[in-house]
Amino acid sequence: MSVTYLEAIRSAQGRALADDARVFIYGQDVGNFGGAFKATKNLAKEFPGRVLDAPLSEDAIMGVAIGAAIEGMRPIVEMQFADFSTCGFNQIVNQAATLYYRTEVACPIVVRLPFGGTPGAGPFHSQSMEAIYAHYPGTIVVTPATVEDAYTMLLEAVAIDDPVIFCEHKFLYNHLKAEKLPTDGLPVGRARIARPGRDATIVTYAAMVHESLAAAEELVEDGYEIEVVDLRSIKPLDTDTVLASVCRTGRLLCVGEAWPWGGVTAEVIARVSAEAFGMLDAPPQRLNARDTPVPYHPDLWGTHRPTAGTIADATRRLLEM
Amino acid sequence: MTDAGRELYLSAYRTMLLARVLEEKLASLYRGGKIKGGVFLGRGQEALSVSVGIHLRKGDIFAPLIRDQAGRMAFGDTVLDTLRTYLGSQLGSMRGRDGNIHRGRPKEGYYAMISHLGAMIPVVAGGLMARRFRGESGVVGATCLGDGGTSTGAFHEGLNAAAVEKLPLVVVVANNQYAYSTPTSRQFACADLLDRAVGYGVAGHKVDGTDLTACLEVVGRAVEAAREGAGPQLVVADLLRLVGHGEHDDASYVDAELRKSAVGRDCLLMAEAALVERGWATEVEIAGWHEAAETEVDETASRVLREPAPDPAEEEWVAIQSRRLDDRFAEV
């Protein structure tokens, strides 16, 4: 018996619906069809009237969720693909994210964003949106990288009184398996040492955690012990865990699947440079996707984003600095 | 007209009058440099706006827009909180964090608009869905916008989604002939904005926005239909914005012929004439009400002008309720 990352997301939603009458799910095709990725499979049947198909209207979907949250509900919104959340962007960043600061009324919504690249998905079904949403005040942005985190962080997201952008990586949906669902986990806001090491720190999140772990394994043959930090939450960012790791290793590589301009890797390097400059034995480095739309062909896509191989190469260069 | 009808009319008129007097004060405070930021007035739209607020009850939801001072006050907003928000008093509902027409008390069903037009439509729809989830019936949600707002994607998506869910939503469009400076000929190509109701499968209502009697009746009918479960209602009122887009704008682009036409009539003067003609009030009584409104507004303004502004050093600078999840940024 094993459980996938996708099943963990479905189970967490089922449990949230069962535990809290304020929870409902709203999104395209989430009802009887069970969602484009089957993340809500059987939930409409199990919870009649609480898993609702929405029109193809991301702005309205978000607006409806916000209004329901104002009235005390705990909506979970599924954006069919993170890429399409740009059509609901205004409601997320200007309505949901400003509500508490402006009115002292909290906006407890969870926006599930199936994100990240998969082979053949192309420019409009592959994007990573976490940095965009983290840029706005008033949001919490999480990027679970494990089956366990997908489950516990989604449950915690529903309990959080603020808008949570839940970035679930599509590449991990069926690739990632665990023995069973966890009973507890680290809270949102805390990073995790995914692999301890002493020679360099790789700070990363979501699918890149697994590429980075594979790179670290490859570097064992070269005699290096690489520490991998899984951020888990993009906002808030667990600066303390990152700084502690960098202080141990003296070297930092940030890896992200998102585009290079600004973003999570830049933010991590800015914080480390400002707060632990003296602890660095080499200039902090980063590895991101290339600065083009995400290409369709698997061969191009595989080169567009960082992989275990390119991460290992970048780490070797960092170690030689 | 019944006694109830007369009482409603009188109450609506007095609210319109108070809104007009208050807005004249806002304009004067703006010209005197006392108000920072924009001032957006609803002159010429009071009859329509008050008709929305007055037909809503406690427990309903109202998301007004920028020209709804009268409707806001009919729904329970006050001269005091209006002035506090415009003047940035720390004691106002927005505490200096937002200003002017971006005010509300969401927990009381009075939603605070964002500047992006059409955006409140799905939010009110969501509020109504929440009420339905909780088994509350007989609740109505209303929101207002102008002709320009009907061109947004949010208007389309919101009204369509509300129609699919058959929600008790009333969308009131003040077709005030200009979206900022853009005339309706550059805004939409349908013969009448009311035609849109058919496209969304919702009931449509047309009204002369300069006529308080008609506005009370038509908006009242729309609110009642929504309350009784007839689904979303679209009200389109023809009128003319009798001020600039904001007080910074002299509205010199408004067609002089339009000002002279039926659509350019001042709804407040029309209502006053009707009051006298119907024998519901004398000119002396009306002048007394005017004076009482001015006194209330002036006294409240002098009070609010002495109230404390928000103190940046005391401001918490946190945008989320979950304090433990506030991100920390190192400062030099």
pLDDT band with cut points at 50, 70 and 90 for residue A268? very high
Measured CA to CA, the distance from residue B21 to residue B232 in angstroms comes to 33
Under the banding of pLDDT at 50, 70 and 90, the label for residue A291 is very high
A297 is catalytic: no
Q: Are strands A23-27 and A51-53 parallel, antiparallel or unpaired?
A: parallel
What integer is the mean pLDDT of B241-255? 95
- Residue B88 pLDDT class (50, 70, 90 cuts): very high
Q: Do A105 and B106 touch (CB under 8 A)?
A: yes
The pLDDT-based confidence of B330 (bands split at 50, 70, 90) is confident
Angle, nearest 10°, between helix axes B267-277 and B283-305?
Answer: 140
Backbone φ and ψ for B278, nearest 5 degrees, come out as -85, -5
Query: How many other C-beta atoms lie within 10 A of the C-beta of residue B291?
Result: 11
pLDDT at A1 over 80: no
pLDDT tens sequence across A91-150: 999 999 999 999 999 999 999 999 999 999 999 999 999 999 999 999 999 999 999 999
Q: What is the pLDDT of residue B3?
A: 87
Residue B221: is its pLDDT beyond 90? yes
Q: Of A125, A169, A210, A304, which is the active-site residue?
A: A125
pLDDT at B2 over 90: no
Q: A201-217 pLDDT, tens per residue?
A: 999 999 999 999 999 99
Residues of A with CB below 8 A from B321's CB? 100, 106, 161-162
Residue A240 confidence class, pLDDT cut points 50, 70, 90:
very high
pLDDT band at residue B256 under the 50/70/90 scheme: very high
Mean pLDDT on A297-309: 97
Give residue-wise pLDDT tens across range B51-76: 999 999 999 999 999 999 999 999 99
Q: Report pLDDT for B239.
A: 98
CB contact under 8 A, B127 and A101: no
The separation between CA B51 and the C-alpha centre of its own chain, rounded to angstroms, equals: 10
Q: Give bridge partners of residue B178 from the DSSP assignment.
A: B183
Q: For B319, which of A94, A137, A275 is closest by C-beta distance?
A: A137
Residues 6+ apart with CB under 8 A from A233: A140, A141, A142, A143, A188, A189, A190, A191
Which pLDDT value is given to residue B68?
98
Looking at residues B96-125, what average pLDDT do you find?
A: 97
Cα angle B107, B110, B115 (rounded to 5 degrees) comes to 115
pLDDT of residue B73: 98
Cα–Cα distances (Å) from B93 to A199, B33, B38, B83, B143, in that order, read 54, 22, 18, 11, 20
Residue of B93, B123, B321 lying closest to A63 (CB–CB): B123
Phi first, then psi: what are they for A133, rounded to 5°? -75, -35
Residues of A in contact with B157 (CB under 8 A): 55, 57-60, 63
Which residues in chain B (67-126) have CB-CB distances under 8 A to chain A? Answer: 93-94, 97-98, 102, 104-107, 111-112, 114-116, 119-126
pLDDT tens per residue, range A186-199: 999 999 999 999 99
Q: What is the pLDDT of residue B331?
A: 85
Torsion angles phi and psi, residue A252, rounded to 5: -135, 130
Please give the structure tokens belonging to residue B195: 């035609």
Predicted TM-score of the model (pTM): 0.97
Rounded to whole angstroms, how far apart are CA atoms B137 and B166?
13
Residues 158-177 of B with CB under 8 A from A: 158, 160-161, 164
Helix (H, G, I), strand (E, B) or coil at A83: helix
Q: Under an 8 A CB cutoff, do B104 and A103 touch?
A: yes
Residues 277-306, chain A, touching B (beta carbon < 8 A): none
Which chain A residues touch B106 with a CB distance below 8 Å? 70, 99, 103, 105
Mean pLDDT of A282-286: 98
Residues 6+ apart with CB under 8 A from A287: A253, A254, A255, A256, A265, A306, A310, A311, A314
- The answer to whether ipTM exceeds 0.95 is yes
| Average pLDDT of the segment spanning B175-194 | 97
For residue A21, what pLDDT band results from cuts at 50, 70 and 90? Answer: very high
